[in-house]
């Protein structure tokens, strides 16, 4: 049920804890679908994580990504990944677009092969003026080392988060609140990962950036809910049940959570549309997971973290009652 206030804001009365099985089922279904996609299609890794060679060509005019891929594969006999970067400033004669061609494997691309690629592309697009601007080999161990360090940093962040939440919300069972916040964050990371899998977006440094950004948004929503739970515990007193506390607190902060998520979603969607219009793949592969991740972060904070926290507190309360009965 939704009650309208005189100021135009909504006062929600949703029973989040009582509906927890619905929310858990939705999350499990999405994660299961992601796992199935992952098993069938696998995880695409960017060149910086699996190694290989990369060649950048400058050109003028317009080219088709699929045509470039087919021409390069004909010359090299290898599967390639092609990304086109268009220069926004086309008013000057010196303005040049660029196309990046990535090859997997441990061998570098020789100068002769680079020339053959340029000749094949020039034959297809005579007025484009293809020229090699950069060529380099990528060592996969560097990317793997970077990825491992990021995982260690995230793990340390989770530990510090539990300590911080445990101390700040110690009056309402802070440790359990911190652990449930971590569970919600892991849910968000999983959703973001499966977006990369389903849309076959290569895992690269954009994945790390998206994950860290989503963790910040999701955690902020969760902390605000916990802060309201602590305040309501003081106002309602010890007789109020944990389910009542959490339901009340989430409903009180729900309008704020929805508006914040909606504003962020609209902004990121605008970025995604710009990327589509100008065919900027790096922007689209960053914005699309962000769009899904922002929604997932709001969902996990509202529908998962709170009910899980109540379940933990009820379990602890039941254990204390059983211990008291035995004594």
Residue 155 lies in a domain: yes
Cβ neighbours of 63 (radius 10 Å): 21
Residue 87 lies in a domain: yes
- DSSP helix/strand/coil, 131: strand
Q: Are residues 131 and 154 in the same domain?
A: no
Quick one: average pLDDT of 117-131?
90
Query: Which pLDDT belongs to residue 2?
Result: 42
pLDDT digits 0-9 by tens, 176-228: 999 999 999 999 999 999 999 999 898 888 898 999 899 988 999 999 999 99
Q: Are residues 33 and 149 in the same domain?
A: yes
Q: Is the dihedral of CA 181, 185, 186, 191 positive or negative?
A: positive
Indicate if the pLDDT at residue 5 is higher than 50: no
Q: Are residues 167 and 294 in the same domain?
A: yes
Last residue of a domain, one of 138, 169, 189: 138
Percentage, residues of the chain above pLDDT 70? 93
Q: Are residues 315 and 213 in the same domain?
A: yes
Q: Are residues 249 and 105 in the same domain?
A: no
Last residue of a domain, one of 138, 163, 188: 138
Residue 247 lies in a domain: yes
Residue-number span of the structural domain to which 154 is assigned: 2-45+142-319
- DSSP helix/strand/coil, 17: coil
Q: Are residues 188 and 131 in the same domain?
A: no
Q: Are residues 171 and 27 in the same domain?
A: yes
Secondary structure element (H or E) that encloses residue 205, with its range: helix 205-236
> How does residue 7 score in pLDDT terms, banded at 50, 70 and 90?
very low
Q: Are residues 174 and 281 in the same domain?
A: yes
> What are the helix and strand counts (H, E) for the chain?
10, 6
Last residue of a domain, one of 138, 171, 205: 138
* More confident call, 175 vs 84: 175
CB 80 within 8 A of CB 54: no
Residue 312 lies in a domain: yes
* More confident call, 31 vs 318: 31
The number of domains in the chain is: 2
Q: Are residues 16 and 88 in the same domain?
A: no
Residue 326 lies in a domain: no
Residue 325 lies in a domain: no
Most confident of 58-62, 135-139, 145-149, 241-245: 241-245
pTM, full prediction:
0.81
Residue 92 lies in a domain: yes
Which tokens is 156 given?
């340390």
The alpha carbon of residue 1 and the mean position of all alpha carbons in its chain are separated, in whole angstroms, by 32
Percentage, residues of the chain above pLDDT 90? 47
> How does residue 134 score in pLDDT terms, banded at 50, 70 and 90?
confident
Q: Are residues 225 and 298 in the same domain?
A: yes
Q: Are residues 299 and 159 in the same domain?
A: yes
CA-to-CA dists, residue 208 to 102, 202, 299, angstroms? 20, 12, 21
**Distance between CA atoms of residues 131 and 135, nearest Å:** 11
pLDDT digits 0-9 by tens, 13-53: 899 999 999 999 999 999 999 999 999 999 988 877 777 88
Quick one: average pLDDT of 241-247?
94
Q: Are residues 147 and 165 in the same domain?
A: yes
């Amino acid at each position: 049920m939704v009650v309208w206030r005189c100021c135009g804001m909504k006062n929600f009365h949703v029973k989040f804890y009582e509906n927890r099985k619905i929310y858990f089922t939705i999350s499990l279904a999405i994660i299961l679908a992601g796992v199935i996609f992952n098993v069938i299609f696998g995880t695409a890794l960017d060149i910086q994580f699996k190694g290989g060679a990369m060649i950048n060509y400058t050109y003028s005019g317009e080219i088709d990504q699929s045509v470039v891929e087919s021409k390069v594969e004909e010359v090299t006999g290898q599967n390639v990944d092609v990304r086109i970067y268009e220069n926004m400033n086309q008013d000057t004669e010196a303005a040049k677009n660029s196309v990046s061609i990535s090859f997997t494997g441990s061998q570098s691309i020789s100068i002769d092969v680079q020339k053959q690629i340029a000749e094949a592309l020039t034959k297809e697009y005579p007025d484009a003026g293809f020229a090699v601007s950069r060529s380099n080999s990528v060592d996969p161990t560097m990317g793997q080392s970077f990825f491992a360090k990021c995982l260690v940093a995230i793990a340390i962040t989770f530990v510090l988060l539990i300590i911080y939440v445990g101390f700040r919300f110690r009056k309402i069972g802070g440790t359990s609140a911190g652990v449930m916040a971590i569970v919600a964050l892991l849910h968000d990371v999983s959703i973001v990962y499966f977006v990369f899998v389903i849309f076959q977006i290569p895992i690269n440094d954009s994945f790390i950036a998206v994950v860290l950004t989503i963790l910040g948004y999701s955690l902020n929503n969760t902390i605000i809910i916990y802060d309201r739970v602590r305040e309501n515990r003081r106002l309602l007193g010890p007789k109020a049940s944990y389910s009542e506390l959490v339901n009340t607190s989430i409903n009180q902060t729900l309008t704020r959570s929805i508006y914040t998520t909606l504003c962020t979603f609209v902004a990121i969607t605008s970025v995604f549309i710009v990327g589509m219009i100008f065919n900027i793949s790096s922007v689209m592969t960053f914005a699309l997971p962000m769009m899904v991740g922002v929604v997932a972060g709001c969902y996990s904070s509202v529908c998962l973290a709170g009910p899980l926290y109540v379940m933990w507190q009820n379990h602890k309360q039941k254990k204390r009652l059983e211990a008291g009965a035995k004594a």
